Chain A
Amino acid sequence: MNQWQQARRELSVTQALLHLMSLYLEITLLNTRLSKDANDDRAQQLRFWFPHVNFSKLRILDLLRIPLQVLWLMFFRFQVAGVVAEPPRAASYQKQLFKKQSQITSWLSAKWRLVIKPFYEAKAVNIIRAFGDVTRYGWLNTALLRILFTILAALLVAFTVTLPLDAAGQAIMLLFFWVIAVWVRDVQRRGALLMMVVLSIVVSTRYLYWRVTSTINWDDAIDTLFSMVLLCAEVYAWLILVLGYVQTIWPLSRKVAALPTDTSIWPSVDIYIPSYNEPLYVVRPTVLAALAIDWPKDKLNVYLLDDGRRTEFAEFAASIGAGYIIRKDNSHAKAGNLNHALKVTQGDYIAIFDCDHIPTRSFLQLTMGWFAQEPKLALVQTPHHFFSQDPFEKNLSVFRSKPNEGELFYGLIQDGNDMWNSSFFCGSCAVLKRGPLEEVGGVATETVTEDAHTALKMHRLGYTSAYLNIPQAAGLATESLSAHIGQRIRWARGMAQIFRLDNPLFGKGLSFAQRICYSNAMLYFLNGLPRLIFILAPLAFLLLHSYIVFAPAIMIALYAAPHIVHSYMTSSRTQGKFRHSFWAEMYETVLAWYIMRPTLVALFAPRRGKFNVTAKGGFTPKAYFDWSVSTPYIVLVALCLFGFGFGVWRLITGPTEEYLTVILNLVWVIYNLIILGGAVAVAEEAKQVRVAHRVKVKQRSVAIITQSEHVYEAQLIDYSDRGIGLQVKDTQRIKLDDKIRVVMKDGTTDFAFNATIVSCRGTLVGALLQVNSVAEQQALLRATFSRADAWVGWRHDDYLDRPMTGFSEVVLIGLRGYRRLLLQITPKMEPVLRVLAKCCRFIRSLLPHVPGEKVSNV
C-alpha cells in the first residue's frame, strides 16, 4: 500500500498499476533479492537488455515492446562481447531460457565468422598469391608469349561479351561472376582487385554490347532518337568507368626521397603566392608560414604576387621581408601573374601556393628530394588539403566524419596517375623546376585551367611528374555551394578547352597510359549532359510511353542489374576509402546542370569564357536556402514526381504485361529522386559564424602560465589564427578575462603566447591570443597550422566502405533535403512533418533494439 501511494505520486493510475505489477512479477519470476544493492544491479541488467524500455516508468505499449524484444533476443540476438561470457550470477529464469535458444544461432554465426568465412577467404588469398608468384614460371615472360596470352585473353573476353544467352543462362553466368566478386571482395591483395576490375569490365561490356546490338528501337522515329540519346550517355558512362579503372588500378604511393645531407648543395627556391582580391587576413598567414619553411635562408625567397596592387599588401610584404611583385595589367589572370614573376626572379625551383594555402614548415624538405633523384622531374604536386568545411560538409554536417569531395582526387586518382607518370599540376601546393617551365613558355595561358595544361605540355616534352600524397599545406575550402559550383564550372570549362585545343589523345610525346589518364581527367568533366539524361530517361517511358530500351523488362533487369552491381562493388573496393558509395552520384548531380552548358560551349567554341576567382574566407551570418542554385534540381524533382505519379497511374490502369517495365522505371525514378534530394539538401546553406575557422586537434598538451607564475597543464582542443580552445583540469584557477600565457611547442623549443580568457564553460576555456610581432606570428603558425604533422591523421584510412551503408547515408540525406525543401515552400507544413517524424520514431521504438544500445527519450 505504501508503495502504491509512492507510485501514484509520480504516475497515472494505469502506469502505477503496471509498475507495481511488473515489480511483483520481477520478484516472483526472477527471484531477485530486494536489497538496495541488488536492485541497482538488476535495473542495470534489465536496462541493458531492453534499452528502449524505461522500467521505472512503464507505458502501455511496453507490453508490446517487451515481448517483441524477448522474441527478437531469442532468435536473432548476436553475441555481445563481454556480456554473454559473464557467468550467470543471479540465476534468472527468463535469461536462461533465451540463452539456450540463442546458443544455436550464435553458434552458427560464430561458425560463419570464425571458420567458414576465413576458410574461403584464405582460399582466395592462396589462389591469388599463386597467380602473383611469377618466379616459378618466369620463363613464360617473353614478348611472344605475352602477345599470345593477350590475344587469347582478348578472344575469351570477346566470346564472353558476345555470347548470346537466354534469360536463365544469363542469370546463371552473372550469378557466377557475382559470387566470385563477393568472394574476393575483402581480400586485401592487388590480384583480387584486378580480378574484380576485370569482372566489372566484362559484365559492363557485355551489357553495352547487348544494348547496342539488340535493344535499339527502330520502329518509331521519336523512340529511336530517345533510344540513341540514352545509348550515347551509357557509352560515355562505360568509357569513364573503364578509363577510371585503368587510371586507379595501381596507385604508386610514392614515399619521400631524402635530400643530400650537405645543405650547401640544396637548390634555391622561389615561393610564389599569387593574390587578386583576397583580404589581407587570408593572405598574411600564408606568407608568414612560407617565410618560416625549413630551408636555408639564403636559398629561399618568398614573393607575394599582387594583382590587386594594394598598398597595404606592399607594406605588409616589406615589413616581414617578403618580395612584392606587381605588373601593369592583369592579362591572363593567375597564369599571367605567375609568368610575370617568372621573368623577374631567379630561383632554380618555384613553389606555388594559393594565397590561402598555409604551407607546413616541412614542405620543401619533403618535396625537393625527388628532384635530386630524377633529373627529368619537372613537377612535384602535393594534395590540396582543407581545414574548413566545404559546402557539402557544412550543409550536410559531415565534417571529418566522411571522406570529403576532394579526397577521391587527391587520395587516389592523382596517386593512380603517378603510376603512369601523368599526375598533373593543380595550381597550388606544388614545386616546379624552372628549366622545363620556361621551356614550355611558362604557365599555359590558352585555357582557364592553366595548371593541368602546363603539366600536359611538360609531359609532351618528355619531362616527368611526381605526386607526394602527404598533405603539406592547408587552406580554406569554398564557402558556399554557389562558390563551389563556380569553381567547378571553371575546372570543367578549362578541361573541355584543353580537350579541344591540345587533345591528349593526339599530338607528340605522350605515352599511351598518359593519354588515357589525361583524357579521363578531361572527359570526366563532360558528365553533366549524360547525368541529366539518366535522370530524365525513365520519364520517357512513364510520361511519353516511349520504349527507349527495346527489350523485355526481365532481360533489362538481368543485364543492367549486374552491370550496376559490379561497378558499384568494384568502385567501393577501389575507392571506398576515399569516397563512399553513392556519394559520387550526389556530388556529380549537384554540378550536372551547371557544368553542362560551359563544357558544351567550350567543346564547340573553346576560346570563349573568362577566368573567375573563387571566393574564400567569408562567413554566413544565418542559415538560408539558396533558391537560385537549386532551381534546376527542384524542376527535375517536380518532373520526377510527376513521372512517378504517372507511373503509379499506369500501374493501376495499364495492361498487365507492362507491370514489370513500369516497376523498373519507378525504381529508377525513386533512385533519381533520392539522389536529387541530396542535391537539394546541400542547397540549404548552414550557418557559419566564425570568420576564423577552428581546427580541432587531439592529444596535444600545452602549459598555461597564470599571472601569478603558476604553471598548469592543459589540453589543446582547437585553434584558429587568433584563438584557441583549451581543456583545463581544474576550473577554479582560470577566470574570465584572466591574462595567461600559453606555452606551445615551436619545433623543439617552447614558445609562450600571451592570451586573454574570453570564455569559460566547465573545463573548456576559450582564449584569444595576442600575437603582435612577426616572430610571434611565425612561432604561432609553426606551433599550429604549419607544424609538420598538422594534417596527419585527417584521412580515415581504416574505413571499409560497403555500398549499402553508403546508400543508406544518401537516402537519409535525400529525405532531409525534401523535408527542408517542404519547410522552405510552406513553413505551415512543419506540424505535419513533425507528426510524420514522430510516427517514424514511434514505430522505431516498437521494433527490437540491440542490447546495450543508447536510446534517447526513454
Chain B
Amino acid sequence: MAHVIAIQGIHGGSGATSICAGLAVALNELGHRTLALDFCENNHLGQLFGLAPDHTAGLLQAVVAGTLQDYLLESAEGYPFLPFGRLPRAQQTDVLAVLPTVLESLFAPLLAMNERIVLIDLSSVPTLWHSWVYQHAAVVLNVLQPEPRLVNGLLRYAEYQRVDQETAGALSMVLVNGIAPHLDLTRDSVLYLKAQLHTDSLVPVMIFRDQHVSEAFALQQPLRTFQSQSYAAQNFDTLAIWLCRTLADLPTKVRS
C-alpha cells in the first residue's frame, strides 16, 4: 500500500505547493519512489517541475479519459508528477462535479502499489475532494507562514481542518514555512505558535525563507536542480528524513 501525504495551506500563499515539490524531490533523492499530485485548481505544481504554463493536460483530462496512463509526467530529472490540468470553462464545471466520484477508481491501482509515497498538494480553500484525500492520507501537513495571518488561520484550522483530518484517521500536523530569524515578527510568530500548539502537532523541521525558492519557481526548475546548496533545499532533505521516520512509526492506515 502506498503512503499518502497531503500538504495543505492553512492560509492562501503559504507555500504548500513549493513544499510539495521540494519534498517530492528530496524523498526521491533519498531513494523513496515518490509521486507528486496536484489537486489544486491553481495548477502550479507542474511549473515547479519544469512544465510549460501552456501545457493543459493533467488530472482533469485524466478524469475525462478515465485513466491516469497518459497524464502522469516525469520532469527532466526524472521526478514523476501529475499536474491538475486546465479545461475550457464550460467543460471544467462538469468535470469538477464528477471528480470526487471517480477519484477512487482512478487512483486505486496507484495506491495499491507497495513502497510508494504519494504527495498530494491541496488548496487551502476546501473542495469536494478534500475529504477523499483525508480518507487516504497517513499524514496531513498544514502549512503556514510565520506572520499575523496565522492567528486566524490557526483558529480556523482547529475548528475545521484538524477535526476533519483526525476524524478521517490522518495525522494532522502544522508545518512552518518561511522562517526568517532576522525579522522579529517571524521569531515572535514562532514563539506564539509554540505556545499555542502542542509539540506533537508541530513539525520540528521548519523551512527557511530563502530567495532560492522563488528564483527556482521563476526559472521553472525544481529547487534542487537550480541550487542544491541552498538552505531551503537542505531543509527539504531534513523534512524528508523526518517524514520517513514518522511514517515508519505510524500504524498502517486501515481504509474504510
Query: In the docked arrangement, what's the CA distance between A743 and B180, Å?
Result: 9
| Contact of A194 with B by CB under 8 A | no
The segment from B5-13, B94-102, B154-162, B229-237 that touches chain A is: B229-237
The residues of B that contact A754 with a CB separation of less than 8 Å are 182
In the assembled complex, the Cα of A748 lies from the Cα of B232 at a distance in Å of 19
Q: How far is the CA of A712 from the CA of B211 in the complex (A)?
A: 10
Contact B209 A750 (CB under 8 A): no
Q: CB-CB < 8 A to A751: which residues of B? A: 181, 187
Which chain A residue shows the least CB distance to B191? A749
B187, B210, B212, B230: the one within 8 Å of A750 (CB): B187
Q: Chain B 179-211, CB within 8 Å of chain A: the 1/0 string?
A: 111100001001100100000000000001111
Q: Which residue on chain B has the smallest CB distance to residue A750? A: B181
Q: Would you call A710 and B181 a contact (CB within 8 A)?
A: no
- Residues in B with CB closer than 8 Å to A703 are 208, 231
Question: Given that A730-B229, A750-B181 are contacting pairs, would A710 and B210 also be in contact in the complex, using a CB cutoff of 8 Å?
Answer: yes
CB 8 Å contact bits of A460-498 with B (1 = contact, 0 = none)? 000000000000000000000000000000000000000
B152-183 interface bits toward A, Cβ cutoff 8 Å, 1 = contact, 0 = none: 00000000000000000000000000011110
In angstroms, Cα B210 to Cα A705, docked, is: 8
Closest to A728 in B: B229
Q: Are B190 and A710 in contact (CB under 8 A)?
A: no
Task: Enumerate chain A residues within 8 angstroms of B179, measured Cβ to Cβ.
Answer: 750
Q: Is the CB of B232 within 8 A of A741?
A: no
Q: Which residue of A lies closest to B190 (CB)?
A: A749
Minimum C-beta distance from A170 to chain B (A): 67
- The residue in chain A whose Cβ has the minimal distance to the Cβ of B212 is A710
A730 cross-chain contacts in B, Cβ below 8 A? 229
B187's nearest neighbour on chain A, judged by CB, is A749
Complex contacts, A743 vs chain B, CB 8 Å: 181-182, 208
Alpha-carbon gap, A373 to B70, bound state (A): 71
Interface size on B, residues (CB 8 A): 18
Contact A711 B208 (CB under 8 A): yes
CB distance from B228 to the nearest CB of A (A): 10
A709 within 8 A of B: yes
**Given A730-B229, A741-B182; A713-B234 close (CB under 8 Å):** yes
Q: CB-CB < 8 A to A299: which residues of B?
A: none
In the complex the two chains form, is B187's CB within 8 Å of A710's CB? no
- A558 nearest CB across to chain B (Å): 66
Which chain A residues lie closer than 8 Å to B181 at the CB level? Answer: 741, 743, 749-752
Q: Are A713 and B182 in contact (CB under 8 A)?
A: no
The answer to whether B182 touches A705, judged by C-beta atoms less than 8 angstroms apart, is yes
**What residue in chain A is nearest B211 (Cβ atoms)?**
A709
CB within 8 Å of B: which A682-716 residues: 703, 705, 708-713
A748-B176 Cα distance, complex, nearest whole Å: 14
CA distance A711 to B179 in the complex (A): 11
* Contact A709:B229 (CB < 8 A) given known A750-B181, A752-B181, A752-B182: no
Residues of B within 8 A of A111 (CB): none
What's the nearest-Cβ distance from chain A to residue B233, in Å? 9
Contacts of A255 in B (CB 8 A): none
A712 touches B230 (CB 8 A): yes
CB-CB nearest in chain B for A748: B194
A729 to B229, CA, bound (A): 8
Q: Considering the chains assembled together, what is the distance between the CA atoms of A247 and B181 in angstroms? A: 51
Q: Which of B53-111 contact A (CB under 8 A)?
A: none
Contact A709 B190 (CB under 8 A): no
Query: Closest approach, in angstroms, between the C-beta of A728 and any C-beta of chain B?
Result: 9
Alpha-carbon distance A729/B234, docked complex (angstroms)? 13
Q: How many angstroms from the CA of A207 to the CA of B192 in the assembled complex?
A: 73
Task: Tell me which residues across on chain A come within 8 A of B211, comparing CB atoms.
Answer: 708-711
| CB-based nearest A residue for B194 | A748
CB proximity to B under 8 Å, residues A738-762 = 741, 743, 748-752, 754
Known pairs A749-B190, A750-B187, A751-B181; A713 contacts B231 (CB<8 A): yes
Q: Which of A711, A729, A741, A749 has the most B CB atoms < 10 Å from its CB? A: A711
* Alpha-carbon distance A78/B191, docked complex (angstroms): 60
Q: Nearest A residue to B204 by beta-carbon distance? A: A748
On whether the beta carbons of B231 and A709 are closer than 8 Å, the reply is no
Rounded to whole angstroms, the CA-CA distance of A708 and B179 in the bound complex is 16
Q: Which residue of chain A is the closest to B215 with respect to CB atoms?
A: A710
A712 touching B209 in the complex, CB below 8 Å, given contacts A705-B182, A749-B191, A750-B181: no
Q: Which residues of A contact B182 (CB under 8 A)?
A: 705, 741, 743, 752, 754
A710: contacting residue among B194, B230, B234, CB under 8 A: B230
Bound: A461/B126 CA distance, A? 74
- Chain A residues near B229 (CB-CB < 8 A): 712-713, 729-730
Other-chain contact of B232, A711, A729, A749, A750 (Cβ < 8 Å):
A711
Complex CA gap A751/B188 in Å reads 11
- Shortest beta-carbon distance, A787 to chain B, in Å? 17
Shortest CB distance A706–B (Å)? 8
Q: Which of B181, B194, B230 has the most CB of A within 10 A?
A: B181
Q: Which residues of A contact B231 (CB under 8 A)?
A: 703, 711-713
What residues of chain B lie closer than 8 Å to A750, measured between beta carbons?
179, 181, 187
Q: With A and B bound together, what is the CA distance between A66 and B187 in angstroms?
A: 67
How far in angstroms is the closest Cβ of chain A from B22?
14
Chain B 219-248 near chain A by CB (<8 Å), digits 1 or 0: 000000000011110100000000000000
Interface pairs (13), CB distance under 8 Å: A703-B208, A709-B210, A710-B210, A711-B230, A711-B231, A713-B229, A713-B231, A741-B182, A748-B194, A749-B181, A749-B187, A750-B187, A752-B180
Could you list 18 further interchain pairs (A-B, Cβ under 8 angstroms) beyond the known A711-B209, A749-B190? A703-B208, A705-B180, A705-B182, A708-B211, A710-B210, A710-B211, A711-B211, A712-B229, A712-B231, A713-B229, A741-B182, A743-B181, A743-B182, A748-B194, A751-B181, A751-B187, A752-B180, A754-B182
